[in-house]
């Protein structure tokens, strides 16, 4: 997994239209490049992510949009990439030879409040604001 995945995710340049790039979806191929993982790893992490209600809702919404717009494949929101990256960090902390998927599910289940869109937005603000030396209440 790419250790600088947050930088790649949160450092997306402002669009020509002035939209916040964090509201624009991306392709699964780009997500795989940001996280630097293979398709099989993505499948395992997604199995864990599906236990998070907001992630699951986002996936359903993106699938519905893909069907309505006749896209070849559903897109993925930056929030979903962030969730997968955080789950990847959990996987990285677990020892080889353990059933990582089941253990990660238990950890994520116990800490669901850390995987919300609100937490994603707070981390985005913390990551993108310049350091001023002052404590900021985010």
Q: Are 99 and 26 in contact (CB under 8 A)?
A: no
Residue 14 DSSP symbol:
P
> What is the DSSP code (8-state) at residue 26?
B
Which residues sit opposite 76 in a β-bridge?
26
Is the predicted pLDDT of residue 30 greater than 90, yes or no? yes
What is the crossing angle of helices 39-49 and 28-35, to 10°?
A: 100
Read off the pTM. Answer: 0.88
* Integer Cα distance of 122 and 61 in angstroms: 22
The predicted-structure confidence for 54-90, as pLDDT tens digits, reads as follows 999 999 999 999 999 999 988 999 999 999 999 999 9
Distance of CA 22 to the CA centre of its chain: 11
């Amino acid at each position: 997994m790419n250790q600088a995945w947050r930088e790649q995710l949160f450092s997306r340049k402002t669009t020509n239209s002035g939209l916040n790039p964090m509201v624009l979806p991306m392709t699964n191929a780009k997500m795989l490049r940001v996280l630097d993982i293979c398709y099989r790893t993505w499948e395992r992490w997604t199995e864990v992510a599906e236990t998070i209600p907001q992630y699951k809702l986002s996936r359903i919404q993106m699938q519905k949009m893909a069907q309505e717009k006749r896209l070849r494949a559903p897109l993925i929101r930056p929030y979903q990439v962030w969730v997968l990256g955080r789950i990847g960090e959990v996987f990285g902390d677990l020892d080889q030879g353990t059933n990582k998927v089941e253990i990660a599910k238990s950890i994520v289940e116990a800490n669901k409040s850390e995987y919300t869109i609100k937490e994603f937005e707070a981390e985005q603000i913390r990551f993108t604001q310049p350091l001023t030396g002052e404590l900021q209440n985010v």
